[in-house]
Amino acid sequence: MPIVHITRRERFCASHRLARPDWSDAKNLEVFGKCSNPNGHGHNYVLWVTVAGQQDPETSFVTDLSLLSRIIKEHVIDQLDHKNIDLDVPFMKGRYSSTENLCVAIWEQLQGPVSALGVQLKTVKVEETENNYAEYHGE
Amino acid sequence: MPIVHITRRERFCASHRLARPDWSDAKNLEVFGKCSNPNGHGHNYVLWVTVAGQQDPETSFVTDLSLLSRIIKEHVIDQLDHKNIDLDVPFMKGRYSSTENLCVAIWEQLQGPVSALGVQLKTVKVEETENNYAEYHGE
Amino acid sequence: MPIVHITRRERFCASHRLARPDWSDAKNLEVFGKCSNPNGHGHNYVLWVTVAGQQDPETSFVTDLSLLSRIIKEHVIDQLDHKNIDLDVPFMKGRYSSTENLCVAIWEQLQGPVSALGVQLKTVKVEETENNYAEYHGE
Amino acid sequence: MPIVHITRRERFCASHRLARPDWSDAKNLEVFGKCSNPNGHGHNYVLWVTVAGQQDPETSFVTDLSLLSRIIKEHVIDQLDHKNIDLDVPFMKGRYSSTENLCVAIWEQLQGPVSALGVQLKTVKVEETENNYAEYHGE
Amino acid sequence: MPIVHITRRERFCASHRLARPDWSDAKNLEVFGKCSNPNGHGHNYVLWVTVAGQQDPETSFVTDLSLLSRIIKEHVIDQLDHKNIDLDVPFMKGRYSSTENLCVAIWEQLQGPVSALGVQLKTVKVEETENNYAEYHGE
Amino acid sequence: MPIVHITRRERFCASHRLARPDWSDAKNLEVFGKCSNPNGHGHNYVLWVTVAGQQDPETSFVTDLSLLSRIIKEHVIDQLDHKNIDLDVPFMKGRYSSTENLCVAIWEQLQGPVSALGVQLKTVKVEETENNYAEYHGE
């Protein structure tokens, strides 16, 4: 059977601040710029999750998209949407809320449940603004 | 000379919380839902400002777009971008950070400087997510 | 209190055919072109509903957006999404499924429930493809 | 019969330069900025044409969209697409190629043929970049 | 000569139903959900075809894009656009109209004609809605 | 440390003409079609630059995005934006302004400065219109 890639898009609206707690506000401003504003800022993040697998001979599906969507919602979106990433999100505890860290952390959240579907997690892509996005391929 | 409408798009990334300080968290949750999360959330807001006027006989412009953009940046974007709307923005002091209030407050910020350009402010449109936007026409 | 316009976007995926039952296939093809293919075709329709009203002094909202969304889902989307507009949709019975008729019929579906919210229905906009849309203002 | 608005989107890729021939390059640079580069620049322009009319009792159409599209192509797009607006476009002769002038000139090109369809031309909107557009309503 | 990838976007509006004829409506509903509605539904599908090859020393093109577009139109779009995928499309006969199957079938339609252009077919991507797409790389 | 890919989007508005100076206008028209119009045409080009690297242990960044953006602006955008690609752009001298050549030339402009950031240049993608784009991976 052919191997097909399937991508699901989900969205979350969250606030965050880029700053190291062991640095002064001045140092944080120097390194993280306007992203280190002490009271934070926020984004409409867009998440694309790509999985790959052989088509199921019965349904021709790689995987049930509504099931994939439910997994992403449960393990990622419900924890991030309308939240403060730095304060409210257990799986981001101890990591700065950079787009890079979000990508890797979301990958870690999804790898188990996606594998349990019998498909392979290929890419987690997080768009922060229309001009910037990060991708993690598990390497 | 014909009257033409000109629209300029600008963007700002900000955090906020919808909550009345005189209400309990429970009451705020009941009325404002997930938007009342105590630690806030955020958006990539998109702002469209529409002005109208007669074309200038010398340049055929309704107004100099780079000047209009500079005015929007100075009076609106620089105060909102990468900020917490509730805590950092002087012109939003004393108002909940609903999209409706943002629209009206941005109109008030722009009406003077836009009039000084010799054109008429027609519409302020603020998009909060791809599914929601508010518009104010000064009525 | 200022009058603000609020717009909510919703989507539905539906099939349809443009054809008059009292015309021959040849006549339908002549008038409706490829849209009259006997086995139908379909679209990802995008719906924008705009309402206007004074801001509520307690919440600053024109209306509760999640309530507006629920009304649109109940009265419009649930009846159209993943349906055949010509065969499955009670409120389209007896009308060709042109974008014009969809606009007017959706307006009629929403006018009562939107008025009951205490706001005014201003515009129903239906996008059929990225190149075509129709709008109805109740005139 | 209800009055419905119909909008058709078309695109054209063209080059132009903003400059008055009776001004020096320095004066043009001062007023028109980078848009006055002597060798020109270009855009993917997007055009939206909105017409309004009563629905036809036979077809429920305001107007035949493929006919409207053909009229826009013949009177506007074929003359602008893959052209230099300043040098190649008869209907722009003697006017600077500002977005304002494009809007008004396209209105003049379309008003006759659109009226001949039995509908009213309502708006010509020309988008120059994702951040700027102009609209003309015939006023 | 460098190897460059070129992607062409095309669109088709089609209806379909996800259902196995050897299953009951209840079983189809259980597995395929709302996509198994007996009277079908539809989508504005978006197709991206990516080919790769060395640049031609005479033209610097990987391939003539208008020729590639014509090939996609002839072998894919003309057979799918404004059609019912399950009933009207010869190359989909005997396959469920899942996005996965569409991807693989479109690849099979294009592989011969694209190879005849002297370039390599790399990816067929089919977007069903703004939230879902499938990709096939020929593996 | 995980290897993450970061993509930055930038835009430039430019004019160009596809034509070989050693060919007649008729031959150029035959090969390059409407793109060979003697007075040129233009586009809103969109550029995506993807780099990859290990996350910095101090900041969690692959690279400072504002620095990457500045490099792209200095080495690419400032030379192309509001310019005629054939006449005004030193790094395109002696090459036809095809999207393929733009991709490869932009890669060459960026490879040095991006390597100096300590990250790897992975992809340069240039979108000419909403229907066409080219990508170069340095192969």
> Which 3 state secondary structure label does DSSP give F104?
helix
A 10 A CB-CB count for D61 gives 24
> Which 3 state secondary structure label does DSSP give C90?
helix
pLDDT tens-digit series, residues B67-99:
999 999 999 999 999 999 999 999 999 999 999
Widest distance between CA atoms in chain F? 60
Task: Report how far residue A109's alpha carbon sits from residue A65's, in angstroms, rounded to the nearest whole number.
Answer: 18
Query: Residue A85: which of A99, A74, A64 has the closest Cα?
Result: A99
- F56 DSSP 8-state letter: P
| A15 has a pLDDT exceeding 90 | yes
Count how many pairs of residues, chain C against chain E, have C-beta atoms within 8 Å.
Answer: 80
Cβ-contact E49, E25 below 8 angstroms: no
- F129 DSSP 8-state letter: E
**What is the percentage of chain D residues whose pLDDT exceeds 90?**
99
Length reported for chain E: 139
| E61 has a pLDDT exceeding 90 | yes
Cβ-contact A104, F62 below 8 angstroms: no
Q: Do C104 and D7 touch (CB under 8 A)?
A: no
Length reported for chain F: 139
For chain C, which residues score pLDDT lower than 50?
A: none
Task: Report how far residue C74's alpha carbon sits from residue C62's, in angstroms, rounded to the nearest whole number.
Answer: 20
| B17 has a pLDDT exceeding 90 | yes
E window 65-94, beta carbon within 8 A of F = 65-66, 69
Phi, psi of E12 (to 5 degrees): -145, 145
CA B15 to chain CA centroid, nearest Å: 14
Q: Do F104 and E66 touch (CB under 8 A)?
A: no
- Residue E103: closest CA among chain A residues belongs to which residue? A4
C136 has a chain D CB within 8 A of its CB: yes
Q: Do B133 and C65 touch (CB under 8 A)?
A: no
Query: Residue D122: which of D62, D45, D57, D80 has the closest Cα?
Result: D62
Concatenating the DSSP letter of every residue in A106-132 gives: HHHHHHHHHHHTT-EEEEEEEEEETTE
Q: What is the pLDDT of residue A87?
A: 97
B41 has a chain A CB within 8 A of its CB: yes
User: What mean pLDDT do residues E48-57 have?
Assistant: 97
Question: What is the torsion angle, in degrees rounded to the nearest 10, for the CA atoms of residue A75, residue A110, residue E101 and residue A127?
Answer: 80
Q: Could you give the angle at which helices E99-116 and E65-72 cross, rounded to 10 degrees?
A: 130
Q: Do F7 and A133 touch (CB under 8 A)?
A: yes
- Give the one of C4, C6, C9 whose C-beta lies nearest to B104's C-beta: C4
Catalytic residue (one of F10, F100, F108, F128): F128
- Give the one of D8, D9, D60 whose C-beta lies nearest to C98's C-beta: D60
Rg (Cα) of chain A, in Å, rounded? 17
User: What mean pLDDT do residues E19-46 have?
Assistant: 95
Q: Do chains E and A touch (3 or more CB pairs under 8 A)?
A: yes
What are the b/e assignments for E51-63, b being 16+ CB within 10 Å? bbbebeeebbbbb
pLDDT tens-digit series, residues A55-82:
999 999 999 999 999 999 999 999 999 9
Helix ranges restricted to H, F51-137: 65-72, 78-80, 85-88, 99-116
Rg (Cα) of chain F, in Å, rounded? 17
Concatenating the DSSP letter of every residue in B12-75 gives: EEEEE----TTS-HHHHHHHHGGGG-TT-EEEEEEEEEEEEEEPPTTT--SS-HHHHHHHHIII
Rg (Cα) of chain C, in Å, rounded? 17
Residue with the two structure tokens 């592989």: E111
Length reported for chain B: 139
Query: Residue C100: which of C92, C111, C110 has the closest Cα?
Result: C92
Phi, psi of E98 (to 5 degrees): -70, 160
pLDDT band, very low/low/confident/very high, at F132 (cuts 50, 70, 90): very high
User: Chains with ≥3 Cβ pairs under 8 A against E?
Assistant: A, C, F
SS3 string of E80-131?
HCCEEHHHHCHHHCCCCCCHHHHHHHHHHHHHHHHHHCCCEEEEEEEEEECC
Question: What is the torsion angle, in degrees rounded to the nearest 10, for the CA atoms of residue E114, residue E116, residue E119 and residue E122?
Answer: 30
A 10 A CB-CB count for E21 gives 7
Q: What is the pLDDT of residue D1?
A: 87
Task: Report how far residue D71's alpha carbon sits from residue C25's, in angstroms, rounded to the nearest whole number.
Answer: 26
- Give the one of A7, A60, A66 whose C-beta lies nearest to E100's C-beta: A60
The partner residues of D56 in beta bridges, in order of sequence, read none
pLDDT in tens, chain D (139 residues): 899 999 999 999 999 999 998 999 999 999 999 999 999 999 999 999 999 999 999 999 999 999 999 999 999 999 999 999 999 999 999 999 999 999 999 999 999 999 999 999 999 999 999 999 999 999 9
Cβ-contact E39, C83 below 8 angstroms: yes
- F90 DSSP 8-state letter: G
Q: How far is A28 from chain F (nearest CA, A)?
A: 10
The CA-based angle A47-E100-E81, given to 5 degrees, is 100
Task: Report how far residue C46's alpha carbon sits from residue C76's, in angstroms, rounded to the nearest whole number.
Answer: 12
Count how many pairs of residues, chain B against chain D, have C-beta atoms within 8 Å.
Answer: 51
User: What mean pLDDT do residues B35-49 have?
Assistant: 97
Q: How far is D48 from chain C (nearest CA, A)?
A: 9
Cβ-contact D97, D86 below 8 angstroms: yes
Task: Report how far residue F79's alpha carbon sits from residue E119's, in angstroms, rounded to the nearest whole number.
Answer: 32
Q: Do B41 and A83 touch (CB under 8 A)?
A: yes
> Which 3 state secondary structure label does DSSP give F10?
strand
Q: Do B40 and A130 touch (CB under 8 A)?
A: no
Contacts of C107 (CB under 8 A, 6+ apart): C121, C124, C136, C138
> Which 3 state secondary structure label does DSSP give C12?
strand
| A33 has a pLDDT exceeding 90 | yes
Tokens of B15: 């955090």
At B108, which helix (H) or strand (E)? helix B99-116
pLDDT tens-digit series, residues E81-117:
999 999 999 999 999 999 999 999 999 999 999 999 9
Q: Name the amino acid, one letter, at C14.
A: A
The partner residues of E74 in beta bridges, in order of sequence, read none
Q: What is the pLDDT of residue B2?
A: 95
Active site residue F13: no
At A16, which helix (H) or strand (E)? strand A3-16
- Give the one of E11, E13, E84 whose C-beta lies nearest to C39's C-beta: E84
Beta strand A83-84 with A3-16 is parallel
* Residue F112, CA distances (Å) to A88, C129, F65, F106 in order: 41, 43, 17, 11
Query: Residue F69: which of F37, F101, F113 has the closest Cα?
Result: F113
Task: Report how far residue D45's alpha carbon sits from residue D16's, in angstroms, rounded to the nearest whole number.
Answer: 11
* Residue B91, CA distances (Å) to A40, B12, B131, D24 in order: 18, 15, 26, 43
Q: How far is B57 from chain A (nearest CA, A)?
A: 37
Active site residue A103: no
DSSP 3-state percent helix, strand, coil across chain F (nearest 5): 40, 30, 30
Q: Which residues of chain D does F16 touch, with a Cβ-Cβ cutoff of 8 Å?
A: 15, 42
Widest distance between CA atoms in chain B? 60
Catalytic residue (one of B16, B35, B75, B103): B35
User: What mean pLDDT do residues B110-133 have?
Assistant: 98
- Residue D136: closest CA among chain B residues belongs to which residue? B4
